[in-house]
Structure 1
Amino acid sequence: MDIQKKLNVLVVEDSVTSYKAIVSVLQNFGFSIFSERAEWKAEFEQLIADEKWDIVISDFYLPDFDGRYVITRVKEVNPDLPVILVTEFLPEEAGSEFLNLGASEFLPKSSIIKLPFVVNRELEAYRLKVSQKKAWDMLVHGEELLTRSQRISHLGHFEVIFPEKNTLWSLELYRILGFDFGEIPLMEKVWSLLDEPEHDHIKVVWEELLKDNHSKEMIVTLNTKLGRKKVNLWLEAERFDDFRYRIFGTIHDISDVSELEHSIQVNEQLFKGIFNNSSQAIFLLDLQGHVIRMNRNAVLSFERDETDIQGLELIRSVFSNSDEESIKKLTYGMKLSLKNQSFEVFVRYSLSDGREKYFDCDFYPLTDPSGKIIYIVLEAKDITEKIVLERAYAQSQKLEALGTFAGGIAHDFNNLLTPMMAYVSYLNSEWSKNDTDESIKKSLPAIEGISKSLDRAKNLIQQILTYSKIDNSVSKQLDLREQLLQVLQEVRVVSSNQIVLSTDLGNEPAFVNADPIQIFQILSNLYENAVFALQENPDPKITISLSKVSYEKSELLHVGFMKNTEYWKLGFADNGSGIAPEIIEKIFDPFFTTKGGKGTGLGLPIIYGIMVKMGGTILVNSSLGVGTEFDLYFPAWRTMF
């Protein structure tokens, strides 16, 4: 159906038959009718308030009002809405009265066949009036918007027509220049407000514009009654023909803008200073958790370039390698901050090279003056050194307490073992004389088992005593490389031919301050552990290396409590079964062992204790099925004394 044929019509009629006749004749003409019938005045008042009607068709005689009221009321509500009277028993000369009241047409009901043509005519006229009114309203509104926008933006315009020199200023230009509205607009009055150098420059520019059609933009200062104003002056020449042309221009008062820009620049510098020089790592996020900015400390702490993660979702990108528990806490913190709540969370962060860091994180929202959340901030404090120190201190306290305990009981326990071993030795010597006795023969394996158990107990006591005497070691300056060569020579003699022993110790002397006996203990314990891990490997291999490293250029930088600037790094690696992630933090605990009854659990704690007392440390990296590497860092000495 053509949209022009749709018709919303209000029929004011007390006769249902007449109402149906009106609707029918309009439909037969081709109109798509939506109609309502009003019989009583109250119904009419309710329906006429609706703005959807295209036309009103009314009878004159109605139960509690008449056609005059209908015409008058419609014109009050919508003066342009057409009203057509369709009635009987009314002299035709009365139609002029209704037309004067505002009716569009008067038809007798006997001529209802003409109604569609009248409706079509009036409908077109009505729609034309509506369009013209909208166009006029838009024109007036546009002019009003232009005036208001110029006032709001402090932008005035002018034009000069040549050769008449007819000049026009906008109202806002009067305000900017500080002139009364009755002042005659002349451009010489504008130029008189300029400083002399700018006045001379404008003269030159003005002459150039008169010669050729082009535009020019510059910033000048006007000395107005209201004070000095910094303005942006834009000029454009337009030629109509050989004799007539005009210059159009705008003057934009940017005094406040310049001050605002200066304030913004100062605040921006202040923000950058605080943001980038903060001791905390700071991420500025949008409400979806995407990274907008990160400060210098965040780049250093998380070892990520801002350009790589800008625009990415923080938790899924930066913390993607963190453990599941940390990610859950971060997600919960983000949700709370979106509810205008702050949240503190401790998280573990994994670097790309496998190293771990620990951060104390705070989520909180940033709001505008109305309280609306506009940004989310994550502040992260790097507490890796604190965690490492706490663990090192706890381990040190544990080892120290155990050493004191071991030293106290080891001697007494050894005193108990001494007579037991003497008795077992006596029984062996006596019973061997009567080895023909059948009952004695049966007892000999038990005696032998007791003897072996006592030997193992004696070795354990010896290790405990050794562990308790770490503080009593005698250190001296020695060449670690030379000590390694000596120990490796002894190891090769007793080692299995199946294990490939690969070394890279360099040629430079590696001077350290250590006890030679403890160096032997370190290497022998590491070697025994490696042999155990290589039992089921068909191609067993041990790799030992020695190199000099700088504290700042090694993984020691993240350990946090090291004092020297240079260290000798002893790497001891095997391709054995590896250590499970869930137990790797326990391997330096005394008496913790994965060897079952074949180990005492004191080998690695002894190594750890020796290295810490020496001022060094031991780090481990292991993967199941791949192997294990221990890195021991000995404080380096530059010369021998």
Structure 2
Amino acid sequence: MSSAPHLTDFPSCGQATHLRLTHQVAKVGSWSLDTGTGRLHWSPELCALLEVGSNYLPSLEEGLAFFLPSGRRRVRSALDRCLNEGIPFDVDAPARTARGNRIRLRTLGESVRPPGAAAAHIHGICQNVTSLHRMREALRIQEERFRLLASATNDAIWDWNLETDDVWWNDGVETLFGYRQEEVGTEMARWMAMIHPDDRAEVRASLTEAFKSRSTTWAGEHRFRRADGRWAWVLVRAQLVRNESGRVIRVVGGMTDLTSHHELEQQLARSRNLESLGRLAGGIAHDFNNALASILGSIELLLLDPPTDPQARADLEQVRQSARRGARLTGQLLALARRQVLRPERLVLNHLVEDGISTARPMLPRDIRLKFRPGGGMPPIVADARQLEAVLHQLLVNSAEAMPDGGTILVETMVEEPVKPDGMPLVVLRVRDHGVGMDDTTLERAFDPFFTTKSEPGAGLGLAAVHGTIIQSGGTVDVESTPGVGSTFTVRLPTEHTEPPMAEGVR
């Protein structure tokens, strides 16, 4: 704490005049308190600050009255400690001049006992810090406003000082990307290191071009690494602050997470591609199915009076089997295109699953075990039993193929309560395996037609047909998978409540 000058130390003559001018420029006035008389002695500069006559000699209480109540208590308390304990003080408090003008006074004081004096005096100075206080208050408001805006936005805000190469981040960098402040660092090189290697050169070039131009803004999209190692698509928008010579000295910007937007765009593009492919496949399958029906009809007629030559009869049987495989393929194509002729009926999912598991067992390897865990109180659904059983078969076959060394496939059914209060419950069919699982790339394309990780010809339509059938039935199908852990397919179908649910024992 600075020591207040003693009135006894003030120089005289020219030096005193110089000191008074200095006090006037600095808006400083001196004062002293005679503890014996309780009177204050103010310098002419202090009298001018408080807009009173230069010969004004107030009492302590009259002097304290210039301070507003909140400040008056603090100044009085500081004076008491200084007088009783000898503790110097420095108090910033609001005051009002004799003419009613509001000012801010910084008051400093210390206790001095002159030689031969019976009691200590207090000497000090007062400085008008109104302008400084206003600037500080304006800065505080601006900082608070910036802090509130930075916390209210969903963006990660950053401020890059090119003079020091320091970078400040708001809490958005943790909210959006999972980084703590100490992890993201304060150097711009750390930010650059978090940009995807394939995007880094383009970002540098774009930023350099913006610096060289006279532009005051910069924007771009790139991939940014999250704390967990995944990549996020971000939109960066920034303001470039230049000095008088036009050189960029500061960049303030924000990063918006566009990952969900990019994923939606990709899903929309994939959906459009699948829709186009489905329409094409559906048209071809319809015509092909008609041709196959004619072939199969002719073969059945020929087999009513089979040829006597065993080889000719075997060839005819092989043609029939090939035609039937073609018919199944066209059925999958029609399911993909959602152009199957569905024959919905009211049924209980548990009964259908029990029958489906029985008919699926011969289709699966012997080292595959099936476990069924039926849910209770299952409401009825309206669906095509034949197509729904085909969906179950395909999911079981898919799970069995994911467990080449054998294992257990768990089939579960349950009721899922509606998310909305006025919504209808859903019936859930879940098929879980402990197979090889799928990585993110495979998982993303699991329901794409003709996509497969197997090498067999004609593969790649099974899950696409499952997706088409369930969507055409008014439901949804999702998959979760972890490499080395297994996959879980979940089918959700709407329930039908026009009549009470059928009892589980009624077949």
TM-score by structure 1 length? 0.58
- Give a deviation string over 1:476-506, Cα, whole Å, max 9, x none: 6654455434423433465333113345554
Q: How far does residue 604 in structure 1 lie from its aligned partner after superposition?
A: 1.4
The aligned counterpart of 2:410 is 543
Structure 1 vs Structure 2 CA RMSD: 5.1
**Separation of aligned partners in 2, 1:551 and 1:148:** 81
Name the counterpart of 2:9.
none
Maintained 8 Å contact 1:333/1:345: no
Aligned CA distance change for structure 1 residues 145 and 424 (closer, same or farther; 3 Å):
farther
What do the CA deviations read for 1:120-153 (whole angstroms, capped 9, x no partner)? xxxxxxxxxxxxxxxxxxxxxxx99999997776
Distance 1:266 1:519 in 2: 64
Q: 1:390 to 1:146 in 2, by over 3 A?
A: farther
Aligned equivalents of 2:416 and 2:436: distance in 1? 29
Which one of 103, 109, 114 corresponds to residue 229 of structure 1? 103
State the shift of 1:345 in Å.
0.5
Secondary structure at 1:410's aligned position in 2?
Answer: helix
In structure 1, what is the equivalent of residue 323 of structure 2? 454
Report what 2:280 is aligned to.
Answer: 405
Task: Tell me how far apart the structure 1 counterparts of residues 67 and 186 of structure 2 sit (CA, whole Å).
Answer: 55
Q: Deviations over 1:83-134 (max 9, x none)?
A: xxxxxxxxxxxxxxxxxxxxxxxxxxxxxxxxxxxxxxxxxxxxxxxxxxxx
Distance in structure 2 (CA, Å) of the matches to 1:260 and 1:305: 34
Letter matched to residue 126 of structure 2: I
Deviation at 1:361, TM superposition (A): 0.6
Is the counterpart of residue 251 in structure 1 residue 126 in structure 2? yes
- Which residue of 1 is the match for residue 158 of structure 2? 284
Cα deviations by residue, 1:353-399 (Å, 9 ceiling, x for unpaired) = x9x78644124245277565334312315461x44444444444444
> Any conservation in 2 of the 1:545–1:570 contact (CA below 8 Å)?
yes
Which residue of structure 2 aligns with residue 110 of structure 1? none
2:367 matched residue in structure 1: 498
Distance, in Å, in 1 between the alignment partners of 2:347 and 2:474 is 15
Equivalent pair of 1:348/1:358 in contact (CA under 8 Å): yes
Pick one of 428, 442, 463 that aligns with 2:332: 463
2:464 corresponding residue in structure 1: 605
Distance change in 2, residues 1:331/1:604 (3 Å): farther
Q: What letter matches 2:49 in structure 1?
A: I
Q: Secondary structure at the match of 1:374?
A: strand
- Quickly say closer, same or farther: Cα 1:350–1:305, change in 2 above 3 A: closer
Question: Which amino acid in 1 is paired with 2:108?
Answer: W
Task: Measure, in 2, the Cα distance between the counterparts of 1:546 and 1:317.
Answer: 48
Query: Which one-letter code corresponds to 1:294 in the other structure?
Result: D
- TM-score under structure 2 normalisation? 0.70
Aligned residue identity for 2:433:
D
User: Whole-Å Cα distance in 2 between the matches of residues 150 and 633 of structure 1?
Assistant: 84
The answer to whether the 8 A contact 1:333-1:363 is kept is no
Aligned residues of 1:299 and 1:306 also touching (Cα < 8 A): yes
The amino acid of 2:157's aligned partner reads F
Q: Which amino acid aligns with 1:256?
A: S
Give secondary structure in 2 for the equivalent of 1:342: strand
Matches within 5 A, 1:161-200: 173=46, 176-178=49-51, 183=54, 186=57, 188=59, 191=62, 194-195=65-66
Give the alignment partner of residue 342 of structure 1, picking from 185, 200, 218: 218
For residue 58 of structure 1, what is the aligned residue in structure 2?
none
* Compared CA separation, residues 211 and 457, structure 1 to 2 (3 A): closer
Cross-structure match for 2:490: 632
- Taking the TM superposition and a 5 Å limit, the aligned residue runs for 1:507-526 are 507-509=376-378, 514-526=383-395
- Residues 1:373 and 2:246 aligned together: no
Uncovered stretches (5+) of structure 1, i.e. residues with no partner: 1-142, 436-440, 554-562
- Cα distance in structure 2, aligned partners of 1:431 and 1:477: 42
Q: Distance in 1 between matches of 2:184 and 2:80?
A: 52
Letter in 1 for 2:252: I
Sequence identity percentage: 19
Deviation of 1:342 after TM superposition, in Å, equals 0.9
Using the TM superposition, give the Cα deviation of residue 629 of structure 1 relative to its aligned residue in structure 2, in angstroms: 1.7
Question: Of residues 452, 475, 486 in structure 2, which corresponds to 1:593?
Answer: 452
C-alpha change, 1:515 and 1:452, in structure 2 (3 Å) is closer
Give the 5 Å matches for 1:63-462.
154-159=27-32, 173=46, 176-178=49-51, 183=54, 186=57, 188=59, 191=62, 194-195=65-66, 213-215=86-88, 218=91, 219-224=93-98, 227-240=101-114, 243=118, 245-278=120-153, 280-287=154-161, 288=165, 290-295=167-172, 302=176, 304=178, 311=185, 324-325=197-198, 342-347=218-223, 352=228, 359-367=233-241, 372-382=248-258, 384=260, 386-418=261-293, 420-421=295-296, 433-434=308-309, 450-462=319-331
Instruction: Answer with 1 or 2: which has the greater Rg.
Output: 1
**Post-superposition CA distance 1:154-185 (Å, at most 9, x none):** 444444577799998678646533478xx458
Q: What CA deviation, in whole Å up to 9, does each residue of 1:536-559 have, x standing for no partner?
A: x32434234456668989xxxxxx
The count of corresponding residues between Structure 1 and Structure 2 is 472
- Greater RCO (Cα-Cα under 8 Å, separation 6 or more): 2
Q: 2:432 maps to what in 1?
A: 573
8 Å CA contact 1:592, 1:601 repeated in 2: yes
Partners of 1:616 and 1:633 within 8 A in 2:
yes
CA contact (8 A) 1:510 1:568 kept: yes
What amino acid sits opposite 2:101 in the alignment? Answer: G
Do 1:358 and 1:387's aligned partners in 2 also have CA atoms closer than 8 Å? no
Change (3 A) 1:214 1:591: closer
In the aligned structure 1, how far is the partner of 2:297 from the partner of 2:85?
124
- The structural deviation recorded for 1:293 is 0.7
Question: Given the superposition, is the C-alpha separation of residues 196 and 263 from structure 1 closer, same or farther in structure 2, using an over 3 Å criterion?
Answer: closer
